[in-house]
Copies of this chain bind each other. A is one copy, B any other.
Amino acid sequence: MRILVLGGDGYLGWPTAMHLSNRGHDVAVNDNFARRSYDEEMGVDSLVPIATLDERVAAWTEVSGRTIKSYVGDLCDAAFVHQMVGDFRPNAIVHFGEQRAAPYSMIDQAHAVYTQTNNVVGNLNVMYALADTDIDIHLVKLGTMGEYGTPNIDIEEGWFEVVHNGRKDRVLYPKRPGSFYHLSKVHDSHNIEFGCRIWGMRATDLNQGVVYGADTEQTKLDPRLATRFDYDAVFGTVLNRHVIQAVLGHPLSVYGDGSQTRGLINIVDTVECIRLACENPADRGEFRVFNQMTESKSVLEIAQTIADTFPGEATIEHVDNPRVEAEGHYYNVKHSRLEELGLKPTLLSEALIDHLFDVVERHKDRVDISAIMPTVDWRATASQLPRTASELTPTAQ
């Protein structure tokens, strides 16, 4: 198949592109390097050094004998997206190309507006380019488990049967997301469902859990093929941060009482889920939702697992939760559909955590410990006169 990976220079986009290429697909990547510019803005950097996209693509050809085409440009530029899709004519578009950090979207008004504009406009442009070029192009869109919030009922895969006042319907699962970032993905989901309904688009919305891990089979082949590993409080995810804290001999910081639960997935399962979704496309007009996670753990359980596995001393410290979220909530997520397509889950294990300790040990001189503690507070609106509209356009960063 011909597969276009949007956000193909990112933490998951790049390993996905290599995984699909390794499986014999004809792969192209798109990126505007927004993720690298967020590092500049926040004054942080990936723990693992990463090559430029040009170096990555060249190294991949050297190592695998296969080529990955690259399109550099912004998804908010409709003409660019239209030309790219018309030029590559993919069978599937895998869409990782969005601002994906909840804390980043909560910094202030400008970051909230940037996140929603960037994500929603980029996705609309992809929808229109696909519909104009070939309505059979399958959109595989990355959503997040955070779209659902923490309802007191079972979380189904995107749709559910509801009985109300004696009548039945199959409706979209109600969403109650936890940040302006998570909200942007809810907006995307609604827009895409509409595209399926009116144009007959084929779409798979992957509501992904928190991804952990530093490597896939391909990233390990050459240092130039490594993917980024974020540990800062804005872009780093909970598990990766704790691993670094353990290695550096710092207490593992747990937000609040730690009873809030997250759906998790290993990076090696993520790339496999994308392959399975692409190779088994949605039907014409189908808006299909998969919950892309393999296990649930509370934030405290995650910290305890890291502490228990760490060969040295590791303590846990509770800090004020900067987020507004339920603790001690019900959390029962259905996630069988990807396994029905063939996913064999790789659960969190000592071996994996040991590998992460090695990765961090190798690069621990690059850690800026001050970047780990949370600085973005969900309750604050960062009161200050916002910048003007001209600075808030989709491409402004």
Contacts and interface: CB of A to CB of B under 8 A. Distances in A.
Interface of A: 74, 76-80, 82-83, 108-110, 112-113, 116-117, 120-121, 124-125, 128, 131-132, 151-154, 160, 162-165, 167-169, 171-180, 183, 186-187, 190-191, 193-194, 197-199, 324, 330, 378-379, 381, 383, 385-390, 392-395
Nearest to A131: B381
Contacts of A109: 78, 124-125, 128
B167 A392 contact: no
Copies per complex? Answer: 2
B198 A389 contact: no
Contacts of A385: 79, 82-83
B113 A125 contact: yes
A116 to B, nearest CB: 6
Given A109-B125, A163-B163, A169-B151, A387 B79 contact: yes
6 contacts: A80-B388, A109-B128, A113-B124, A151-B169, A154-B165, A183-B187
Nearest to A386: B78
Contacts of A190: 175, 177, 183, 186-187
B176 A193 contact: yes
Given A109-B128, A176-B193, A79 B394 contact: no
Contacts of A163: 163
Chain A's interface: helix, strand, loop or mixed, by majority?
A: mixed
B194 A177 contact: yes
A79 B378 CA distance: 21
Contacts of A132: 381, 383
A167 B332 CA distance: 11
A330 B171 CA distance: 14
A160 B169 CA distance: 14
A79 B153 contact: no
A82 to B, nearest CB: 6
Contacts of A162: 153, 162, 164, 174
A78 B153 contact: no
A219 B191 CA distance: 38
Given A77-B389, A151-B169, A172-B175, 12 more contacts: A78-B110, A78-B387, A80-B388, A117-B121, A128-B381, A132-B383, A152-B167, A162-B162, A162-B164, A177-B194, A180-B191, A183-B194
A125 B391 CA distance: 14
A184 to B, nearest CB: 9
A358 to B, nearest CB: 39
Most chain B beta-carbon contacts within 10 A, residue among A197, A385, A386: A386
Nearest to A77: B389
A334 B387 CA distance: 42
A285 to B, nearest CB: 11
Contacts of A395: 389
A284 to B, nearest CB: 13
Nearest to A170: B152
Contacts of A392: 76, 78, 121, 394
